[in-house]
Chains A and B, each alone.
Chain A
Amino acid sequence: MDIIVNGEPQELADVITIATLLEARGLTGKRVAVERNGEIVPKSRHAETAIASGDRIEIVVAVGGG
Chain B
Amino acid sequence: MSTDSLVIAGKAYGSRLLVGTGKYKDFAQTRAAIDASGAEIITVAIRRTNIGQEPGQPSILEVLPPSQFTILPNTAGCYTADDAVRTLRLGRELLDGHALCKLEVLGDPQSLFPNMPETLKAAATLVKDGFQVMVYCSDDPIQARMLEDIGVVAVMPLASLIGSGMGILNPWNLKLIIEQSKVPVLVDAGVGTASDAAIAMELGCDGVLMNTAIAGAEDPVLMAGAMKKAVEAGRDAFRAGRMPKKFYAATPSSPVGGMIGPGTR
Chain A partners chain B: yes
What residues of chain A have their CB less than 8 Å away from a CB belonging to chain B? 6-7, 25-27, 30-35, 38, 40, 42-43, 58-66
* Docked-complex contact B45 and A64, CB < 8 angstroms: yes
* Docked-complex contact A61 and B59, CB < 8 angstroms: yes
The chain A residue with its CB closest to the CB of B30 is: A64
* Docked-complex contact A32 and B86, CB < 8 angstroms: no
What residues of chain B have their CB less than 8 Å away from a CB belonging to chain A? 19-24, 30, 43-53, 55-56, 59-61, 71, 73-74, 76, 86, 89-91, 93-95, 162, 210-212, 215
* Docked-complex contact B94 and A61, CB < 8 angstroms: yes
* Docked CA distance A4–B108 (Å): 29
Contacts A6-B48, A7-B48 hold; do A63 and B60 have CB atoms under 8 A apart?
yes
Question: Which residues of A sit under 8 angstroms from B43, Cβ to Cβ?
Answer: 65-66
* Docked-complex contact A59 and B48, CB < 8 angstroms: yes
* Docked CA distance A25–B55 (Å): 9
Question: Which residues of A sit under 8 angstroms from B61, Cβ to Cβ?
Answer: 31, 62
* Docked CA distance A61–B59 (Å): 8
* Docked CA distance A60–B86 (Å): 12
* Docked CA distance A5–B162 (Å): 31
* Docked CA distance A32–B51 (Å): 13
Contacts A7-B48, A31-B59, A58-B48 hold; do A64 and B21 have CB atoms under 8 A apart?
yes
Question: Which residues of A sit under 8 angstroms from B56, Cβ to Cβ?
Answer: 26
Contacts A33-B91, A65-B74 hold; do A60 and B23 have CB atoms under 8 A apart?
no
Q: Determine how close the nearest CB of chain A comes to the CB of B63; give it in whole angstroms.
A: 9
Question: Which residues of B sit under 8 angstroms from A25, Cβ to Cβ?
Answer: 49
* Docked CA distance A31–B60 (Å): 10
Q: Determine how close the nearest CB of chain B comes to the CB of A4; give it in whole angstroms.
A: 12
